[in-house]
């Protein structure tokens, strides 16, 4: 009984079909993965990010200077002041339309900067938290010195 194998032509065709199928599957996977990365990158670029540059306390009024370090306009909706034990001394809900900050800008004038009325004790450390309409938060800790 004589055994014969697969002819060389058929073997070559099978190898070509397998290679093409593997290349198509790899291409589809890479394109899908690249689309996911592009979507994540574009979403990450358009985020709200804020930073409290500093605070100023004068005459019972605390002025908070906030910088928009994100890529979209932000609207400040609340300012909180905490004492060293974490107790909220002031919770100030603001009108967000009055406190909007363009990307890269800082609230640099008192009428535009969020202000709250509070009494601070000299030598005590306080924490200020600013919250935007979308929930982005920034905190700043300082020790009040007369």
What's phi and psi for 137, nearest 5 deg? Answer: -125, 150
Q: Give me the sheet containing 61-68, strands edge to edge.
A: 50-58, 61-68, 115-117
Output the CA torsion 23→27→33→39 (10° steps): 180
| One pLDDT digit (tens) per residue for the chain, 146 residues | 667 777 888 889 999 999 999 999 999 998 888 877 766 655 555 788 999 999 888 888 888 899 999 888 998 888 899 999 988 888 888 777 788 888 988 875 445 567 778 888 899 999 999 999 999 999 999 998 87
pTM for this predicted structure: 0.65
Q: What homologous superfamily is domain 50-143 in, according to CATH?
A: Immunoglobulins (2.60.40.10)
């Amino acid at each position: 009984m004589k055994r014969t194998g697969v002819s060389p032509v058929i073997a070559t065709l099978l190898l070509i079909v397998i290679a093409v199928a593997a290349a198509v599957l790899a291409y589809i996977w890479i394109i899908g993965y690249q689309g996911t990365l592009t979507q994540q990158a574009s979403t990450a670029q358009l985020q709200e990010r804020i930073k409290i540059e500093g605070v100023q306390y004068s005459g019972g009024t605390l002025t908070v200077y906030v910088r928009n370090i994100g890529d979209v306009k932000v609207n400040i909706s609340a300012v909180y002041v905490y004492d060293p034990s974490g107790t909220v001394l002031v919770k100030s809900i603001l009108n967000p339309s009055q406190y909007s900050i363009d990307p890269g800008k800082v609230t640099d004038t008192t009428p535009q900067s969020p202000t709250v009325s509070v009494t601070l004790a000299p030598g005590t450390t306080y924490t200020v938290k600013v919250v935007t309409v979308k929930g982005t938060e920034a905190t700043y800790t300082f020790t009040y010195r007369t």
